[in-house]
Structures are given as C-alpha cells and as structure tokens.
Amino acid sequence: MGEEKKKSIGEIDIDEKITVKKDGKKVEEETIIEKVVETPARVLDETVEATKNVEKTVIEKGPVKGVRNFWRTLGPGLTTGAAGDDPSGIATYSQTGAGYGYKFLWLAPFTFPLMAVVQEMCARIGLVTGRGLAANIRKFFPRWVLILCTVLLFIANTFNIGADLGAMSEAIRLFLPQIDYFVLIILIAAVIMLLQIYTRYKKYAKYLKWLALVLLAYIISTFLIKGLNWREIGLSALRPVFGFSKDQILIVTGALGTTISPYLFFWQTSQEVEEEIEDGLTNIQERQKSLYGGEIKKMRIDIWSGMFLSNLVMFFIITACAATLHKNGIFAINSAADAAEALRPLAGDYSYFLFAIGIIGVGALGIPILAGSSSYTFAESFHWKEGLHYKLRQAYSFYGIIIISLVIGVLINLVGIDPMRALVYAAILNGYIAPVILILILILSSSRKLMGSRVNGAWSKIIGGVAILLMAFAGVATIWSLIFR
C-alpha cells in the first residue's frame, strides 16, 4: 500500500507540528488542532491563577487584611459582651422599648463605658495574675466572703439558665410549634452540655466567637422596619430622661443588672487565663512572666469591641420595640419570644424571623457561659482542677457543676416555675452580690502589690466607683420594689 495521504484543510495541514516556545526556549511540539482545542482550558487556568494572585494581594495588603487582623484580635471580650445579651436580656430590652418607647434609649450609651471598664479590670486581673477572679478573691479576702458569693452566684445563674432554656424553646416553637415545649428544653440542655464538655477548648472558643455574630440579626431586623424617625431616636439616645416611679426604677435596674452582671466578671477573667493556657503557658509563673504591653492592648481592643457590640444591640432592640410595639399600643412583653411574635404583623416576616433566630443564637451562647462561670467560681473557691482545656476525666468536679447547673435549669421548667419569676429571683440574688464583687474587683485591680504597674488609672477608679454606687442602688431598688409592690 502507498503512503497514506495526510488530511488537510485548504493549505493547512492539521497534523503539521508547530513549535511552542516559552521564554525563548523550545518547550514542545504540538499539532495545530491540539493547540486550538487546549486554548479554552489554558485561558481558564491562567484566569484562576490571576484571580488567586489578586486575592492574595488584597488579603495581604488591602483593607481585608485589617478586618482579618481585627477579627483575630477578638476573643473572650467579644463572647462575654455577647453573652450579656442573652434571652433574659433581650426580654428586658424588649419590655423597655414596648413600655416606654424611646425614653430609655440613653441607657445603651450610658452603660457602655461602665460595662467596658469593669470587664477590662477583670481581664487585666486574669492576665497579670495568671489566675481567675475567684482564685484571687480567695487569696486576698476572707474565705466566707467568697463562699457566700459563690453559692449566691450559682443559684442566680441557675435561675437564669432555666429562664433562657424556656426562652429558647419558645423561640424554636415559633418555627416548629408541633414539637413539645419540655422535650425541646431537654434537647437544648443536652446539646449545650455535650458541646461544652466534649469539644476541645480551641474549637469551642471559635464556636462561641462566631455565635456572637448572631447579634447582628437584631441590628438588621431593626433596619428592616419602615418609617423610623432617626432624629427622634438620636435625641433620645443623647438626652437622659428619668422618673422615680417604681416601674421606671425597675427598668433602669434591670438594664444595669443585664449589662453589669456578676457571672460576666468571673467568665471574663477565667477566659483570659484559658487563652494563655491554650498558648502553652500551663503554670501561673509562666503566665505572669509572659505578659507584655501588646497583650494588654489587644485585650482592651477585644473588651471594648465586645461591650460596644453588646450595648449597640441593646440600643437596636429598644429601638425596634419602641418603633413598632409601643407605637401600636402594645406595652407589655413577658418574654423575648413574645416580642418576636408581636413584631411580625408590625415589622414584617423578615424582622420576626431575625429576631427569633437571635433569641436561639444568643441562648446557645449565654447558657454555657452562665454554667461555665458557676463552674469556674466553685472550682477556684475550693481549689479543684478547673478549665475547659481539661477532658472530662481530668476534671470531674469542674464539669459536674456545669451538668448540675443545666439539670436544675431543666427542672425549673419541668416543675412549672414561671421563667419570668425565675428571673426575678436571679435579680434579687445579683442585687446582693454584684456590689460586693465589684468592690473586690476594684480593690484587686488597684493593688500595686498584686498588679504591679498594671493598676487602675484614675478614670478606671472613678468609673468603677460609679458602677459600684449604681449597682448598690439597683440592688436596693430591686429588693424594695419586690417587697413593697
């Protein structure tokens, strides 16, 4: 047979080899058809590579890098601030807006510096001493003071857990009404308990950190409300108005008790220590020697950012309920879920959905922090092995307090104690212990013997003193209102 004739189109031979050069050097030989067919794939590959290079440049040099670094700075301060807006807090803010409109919006900017300064003192105590708050109180004050505060805090936190479990169950039933209220409470408590006990601390801390972002749902839900009078809102936020009726005193004391709460003090200090342990500083001496100025600066950014978010959410919840519920004659809210349901016909489905999702999210954040703060306080008071970095078998007593807190919280609902009444009991107990613990925090953080050069400045002492006076007033006012109502 003769030599097979090559197929060609016109004068171009399809099988003709062409030389492909790169940087002036011969790389390979290809046929014309191969070159044509591979062109789309080459374009795609080069586009992907170019996109990766642009993305890398933006992340490393652009504004994204700043956001990324800021997010890495946030930690215990963010989660502690967000925990202050638990379902009980949401109910308090919702009632404030529904009952009095914009009148008490000024409480949000007013309580912000108080909350931030107190939490910054707690964090600084943890970083400088390498110990939790209860451990420092045990070392420098009479033991009976700490034991009394520990027991009262445990009871108050447990009542709060019960109320928050009930609120989460109600919020979930807004979407799934066919599920039994009590079954949901048991499931919620079980999931929270298992996650807190069996998740590694590093991963669990990230979970809490991301969960804090659920608070943005309240801000978004407020912006979805039509016809907001921002001039009136702004003036109300900057112009304090206050009456001395019993109901108004309770509103103010409720807001103070939600933002400046004892369980946040203990959690904040212990989490600063946990973060250092996670970084490999496993004993007190190492933690005390490792402190440097950059760490204090990072902590302050974390604290003030977390407390700002907490009070910003307070501002928007009051605004949302004032602009909808109050203006439409709905003045009484018994729970956070009631607020979400009442918002639906007035603010629309999206606001209702986001408000309800927020309740579920902050409940999942707040409940483990309530139980955890009780556990840290007990463990440090009685010198037990403590910390979420331990596995269950290494710290039975520490995790035992978490389990007991959640079980009692479930039982509070199962035996029929009204969640709102449970919050009243918690408010009474916090009214007793908050001023006492604040005094101890101020003394500890101002002690040069304990804190060295990291003692409180003049403004911290002044703001701390104001917080003590206000919380003492709040405690007395709460107890008085309940006795003489």
pLDDT band at 2 (very low <50, low <70, confident <90, very high): very low
Task: Look at residue 485 and tell me if it is in a domain.
Answer: no
pLDDT band at 325 (very low <50, low <70, confident <90, very high): confident
pLDDT band at 36 (very low <50, low <70, confident <90, very high): low
> How many Cα atoms within 13 Å fall on the side-chain side of residue 286?
9
End-to-end Cα, the chain, rounded Å: 115
Give the model's pLDDT for residue 57.
Answer: 63
Q: Which residues pair with 13 in a beta bridge?
A: 8
Q: What is the CATH number of the domain that holds 370?
A: 1.10.4160.10
**pLDDT score of 114 more than 80:** yes
Task: Look at residue 414 and tell me if it is in a domain.
Answer: yes
Distance CA 324, CA 301 (A): 34
- Does 54 or 365 have the greater pLDDT score? 365
Q: What is the DSSP string of 328-376?
A: GT-----SHHHHHHHHHHHH-HHHHHHHHHHHHHHHHHHHHHHHHHHHH
Contact indicator for 98, 331 with CB cutoff of 8 Å:
yes
Give the model's pLDDT for residue 355.
Answer: 82
Highest mean pLDDT among 222-226, 237-241, 395-399: 395-399
Distance CA 68, CA 59 (A): 8
Task: Look at residue 47 and tell me if it is in a domain.
Answer: no
pLDDT per residue as tens digits for the range 276-289 = 888 777 667 767 67
The structure tokens listed for 478 are: 């709460």
Task: Look at residue 89 and tell me if it is in a domain.
Answer: yes
pLDDT per residue as tens digits for the range 296-315 = 889 999 999 999 999 999 99
Query: Helix/strand/coil (H, E, C) string of 125-158?
Result: HHHHHCCCHHHHHHHHCCHHHHHHHHHHHHHHHH
Q: What is the pTM of this model?
A: 0.82
Task: Look at residue 150 and tell me if it is in a domain.
Answer: yes
**Count of domains in the chain?**
1
Distance CA 152, CA 68 (A): 40
Task: Look at residue 147 and tell me if it is in a domain.
Answer: yes
Q: Which residues pair with 244 in a beta bridge?
A: none
Range of the domain at 165: 77-453
The mean per-residue pLDDT over the stretch 459-473 comes to 91
Task: Look at residue 9 and tell me if it is in a domain.
Answer: no
pLDDT per residue as tens digits for the range 176-217 = 889 999 999 999 999 999 999 998 888 888 888 888 888 888
Contact indicator for 305, 411 with CB cutoff of 8 Å:
no
Contact indicator for 120, 303 with CB cutoff of 8 Å:
yes
pLDDT per residue as tens digits for the range 387-411 = 898 899 999 999 999 999 999 999 9
What is the average pLDDT score of the chain? 83
Task: Look at residue 478 and tell me if it is in a domain.
Answer: no
- Does 250 or 35 have the greater pLDDT score? 250
Tell me how far the alpha carbon of residue 263 is from its chain's centroid: 13
Residue type present at position 146: L
Distance CA 420, CA 426 (A): 10
